[in-house]
Amino acid sequence: MTLNLRPRQLQALADLRQAYASGARAPILVAPTGFGKTATAAEIVRQAVAKGKRVWFLAHLKEILDDTSARLTAAGISHGQIRAGRSADYSVAVQVVGVATAARRTGLPRPDLIIIDEAHLSVANSYRQVIAAAGSPLLLGLTGTPQRLDGRGLREVFDLIVPTCSTAEL
């Protein structure tokens, strides 16, 4: 059962499934604001947990972490939080993770999948450090803006762009 996703979100799930099946290890889902990237990611989390996988949802802002935690809770997905001001429960398969906290901590349980919100930021040293410390998990980037102002390419982290639709098509 899915989480009441819209047709475009279901198509994005199918496209991501195909990307991984074709050998991608780090696709980036590009979708405009309002698409429902977090809802789509919650369904990916649900499916991964059903297969016994550990998942991190990684972001840099408290507001994104709070919103993601609330959405996972609303979807009935049990999760812990690895971030400042929160008690960590590493026994939970799903973790909402602040990148700054994870970059400072050692010995964190390794995830099978890291979902990175605002993925255009993932070429920053803190993200690269967290990804490297996690071993070699699958990655999934989420962004509405796949271009960086500094010109750095996202290929440093991601291996395939999975486009969805334009804002006008929503």
Per-residue pLDDT of the chain (170 residues), as tens digits, is 457 999 999 999 999 999 999 999 999 999 999 999 999 999 999 999 999 999 999 999 999 999 999 999 999 999 999 998 888 899 999 999 999 999 999 899 999 999 999 999 999 999 999 999 999 899 999 999 887 777 788 899 999 999 999 888 87
**pTM of this prediction?**
0.94
Give pLDDT, residue 2.
53
Q: What is the pLDDT of residue 136?
A: 87
Which pLDDT does position 60 carry in this prediction?
A: 95
Tokens of 161: 């762009």
Domain spans of the chain, in order of start: 7-145+157-164
pLDDT of res. 1: 46
Q: What is the third-level CATH fold of 7-145+157-164? A: Rossmann fold (3.40.50)
